[in-house]
Structure formats: C-alpha cells, structure tokens
Chains A and B, each alone.
Chain A
Amino acid sequence: MKIVIINYGAGNIQSIKFAIERMGYQAILSDNPEEIKTADKVIFPGVGEASSAMQKLKISGLDKLVPILKQPVLGICLGMQLMCNRTEEGNTKGLGIFDVDVIRFNNNVKVPQIGWNQIDSLNSPLFTEVDENEYIYLVHSYYAPVIEDTVAQTYYGIKYSTALQKDNFYGTQFHPEKSSVIGEKILKNFLEL
C-alpha cells in the first residue's frame, strides 16, 4: 500500500510518519502531485496558522489537487479545518470539501483547548471497534460546528465536530498520532479502508 503524507511545510508531520511505521506500514512525505495522485491513501496534516498554511498549499498548487483526489484522504487538525469552506483564523478561504465555516472558541472556555477530551456520536468506519466516549488528544483554538457530515462530536463549552466525513474525504480535529492506542486504532482503520 502506498501512503503519502502531504508535505507542504506545515508543522509536525514526523509524528504521523512514525505512528504509521509503528503499525507496520511505510509512508512517504511528498508535495509532488504525481506521488500524491498515485497513492492508495493520502494524509493531509497541518499544524500552525491557517492563512500561512493555505498560502503554502497554493504555492505548490496542492489547493487544486486535494479536492479532486479520488482515494481516501484524511485531514488532521488544521488539515481538516482547511478542507472546510472557510476558517475565521486569518479569514482564510478553505478547500470547500466540507460545507462548514470554522470559527473560534468563545472566551467562556480557555483557548486554546489543550489536552484529552472525549468523542461521541461516532458514525464512520474510522471508528470501527472504537467505543463512545474514548479519549483523544486535541490542541486547537478554532472548531467546525456540527453539520450533516459530522461523524464524531466533542463538548467544549458547546458540541462541535471532532471528525467529518464526506465521500472519500475524512477529517479529524484530534491528533490520532498522539492519541495513544485509540488514536492508533483510528489511524489503522483509515489505512485499512
């Protein structure tokens, strides 16, 4: 199986590569459109600030490529947020895969949310053999509200989307690569789709 992690200079992707290797698979880091197009599974990571990450995607032309990919694509954290219509962070236009606008947490909670929270209302093959209310690791200031494509939810002052799915596109707000054995299970489910 050919697994490509899109490498567009956005943050900590080494950890995702290591997590995949711990499961016995190999992953390639690449920004080459041909490599990405011919992958069986594509991981779209992202850590950092939205507008600068989007800018980097545009420079390499990947903003045009990602939305037309046909194989399973998993956006993680900022990667998931960039797959939405817009994000309030840096007033950034996203890839428009998920029909939702990402907004900032209200100040009635501490921002960023950092730590382990729970997922519920699980409704995707990503969560095969994953129980309701399992703990996952999150670190973020912006969130996607609950929509039709929401396949996992979390409570932090309000209920919001911690996973989205539409056709071949998947997104997790949490970091599966940092979410202990549960995260590895979710990542494995994606790789075995």
Chain B
Amino acid sequence: MLTKRIIPCLDIKNGRTVKGVNFVDLRDAGDPVELADAYSKAGADELVFLDISATEERRKTLADLVLKVAAKINIPFTVGGGISSVEDVDVLLQNGADKVSINSSAVKNPQLINDLVGKFGSQCITVAIDAKQIDGNWIVHLVGGKVPTELNLFDWAKEVEERGAGEILFTSMDNDGTKDGFANKSLSRLSQELNIPIIASGGAGNMQHFVDTFKEGKADAALAASVFHFKEIEIKDLKHELRNNQIPVRL
C-alpha cells in the first residue's frame, strides 16, 4: 500500500542550513549533507532543500550541494528556491536531485511549468503554492507570503495540475509558524478537486497534527521543519503514532 510521506524541510543559505537546528549529536549541524544523512537514517521518506540565498554565486553553490547530497543519501530529495529556467532545473537534476520545486517563477510565467514537464516529465516537477486567507478567500502570495497576487488558491492549483505538474506543495501562511496544525479544510478540498499528490505544509506542532492532516486534510505527504530540527518530534515516534491511527507509513 502506498504510504503517507514525512518530509523534513531544510532551509539553505550559501550552502549551509539556516535557522535553528538542534541536533546535538551532529558534528556540524550547519552542514546540510550531514543533516540530510541523519534524517535519512531517522526514517524520513524524502527531504526538501529550500535555498534562500540571494548571492550571485547562488546557482553554483546549490548545484554543488545537490551533488554532495546525492552522493551521500539513498532517499529521494527535492530542491527549491529561486529556480526560474529550464537550465536551472537541468543542472539540479543532472547533479542528482529527484525533483525540483518552483513557486514565484511559475506564477510569473505559468508556461514554465509546461516547458519543464515537457523536458523532464511530470514526476520531477513540484509546484509550491503559498497562500493565506483574505476576507475568506484563499489568495496566492509570493516572496514567502509577503506579496499577494490576484490568484485564488484553488484556481491556481487546478491550472498547475492542467499544465502537467506532478505534485503540489501547499503552505498555508495562516498556519505557518503557529504550531496549531495544518490547514486541513483547504488541503482536503485540494485533494478532492485535484488528482495529483498534495504535500501539506505549515502549522505542524505535535504528532496529532500529522494524524489530522492525513485523515481530515487527506494529504499525501506532510512537510515540517522546526518540530524535526528541534527534536520536538522524532520521526520514528511519529510514524508509530500514525500507524496506531491506521495511517499507512514506512517503518
């Protein structure tokens, strides 16, 4: 049976992991390769690397990092952040990334989704969508939720699917950082209206939140950062809890 995926997300700046990582047993918690390896051994199903660098050398640093990660780990990983062209994606996939995630560049140029899918296939193109509610409507935002667009979450998600994306990573800006749980109502609606996998992101605070997002939110995968980085939740414990709740997981 296809299992639900647990995905730790690592924020990367200039080739190093940023913001709080509390892995006392790691020699260098700022080394993404070492952290990725630790998560892989802890039972993570997949990893996401989100590059937030803003330097000129960003592309090369990220490509080098992808190569090092691919050499070390034996589970799939996705790379996102600032990807805006077929050439960007080509380098990352050739260096060993399994999937790439695009966000702002897809909103600015939706044809990019078709171009990437045509060249690399649906299976490696994830579209990340950040959205929050304004007057009861889910509005897609850019730049980490700072800049609102004209797009409605559900319309945009449908368009993303029609253009061939293989998966959607939906982050609710209303839930992100709250530790109050995922945006299960809208996740569940996305899951019903679309026929591609949906990754839930934003709001993870405890294990019950994961149970809820798989059951009520009908998510196919759940992504989180701080609860894993600060060891508030151990992936093994989480998976046992999910299995106890009749949710299929890889253990």
From A11, A115, A179, B2 is in contact (CB under 8 Å) with A115
Stretch of B67-75, B174-182, B203-211 on the interface side: B67-75
Contact B1 A112 (CB under 8 A): no
Cα(A144)–Cα(B76), bound, Å = 23
From A14, A107, A110, A135, B250 is in contact (CB under 8 Å) with A135
Contact B1 A137 (CB under 8 A): no
Q: Indicate with 1 or 0, residue by residue over A110-130, a CB within 8 angstroms of chain B CB atoms.
A: 111111111000000000000
Contact A114 B123 (CB under 8 A): yes
From A19, A47, A110, A116, B123 is in contact (CB under 8 Å) with A47
From B5, B70, B123, A15 is in contact (CB under 8 Å) with B70
Interface residue tally for chain B (C-beta within 8 Å): 35
A94: interface (CB < 8 Å):
no
Nearest 9 CB-CB pairings of A with B: A14-B96, A48-B121, A135-B250, A116-B250, A139-B123, A18-B71, A117-B2, A178-B76, A15-B96
Contact A115 B121 (CB under 8 A): no
From A19, A112, A178, A179, B122 is in contact (CB under 8 Å) with A112
Residues of B bordering A, CB below 8 Å = 1-5, 40, 45-46, 67, 70-71, 74-76, 93-98, 118-124, 166-167, 195-197, 220-221, 250
Smallest distance from the beta carbon of B192 to chain A beta carbons, Å? 11
Interface residue tally for chain A (C-beta within 8 Å): 36
Smallest distance from the beta carbon of B81 to chain A beta carbons, Å? 19
Residues of the A chain whose Cβ atoms lie less than 8 Å from the Cβ of B122: 112, 141
Cα(A47)–Cα(B97), bound, Å = 12
Task: Show 6 residue pairs from A and B whose CB-CB distance is below 8 angstroms, ordered by the A residue.
Answer: A18-B96, A112-B196, A114-B5, A115-B221, A139-B166, A177-B74
Smallest distance from the beta carbon of B10 to chain A beta carbons, Å? 18
Contact A22 B120 (CB under 8 A): no
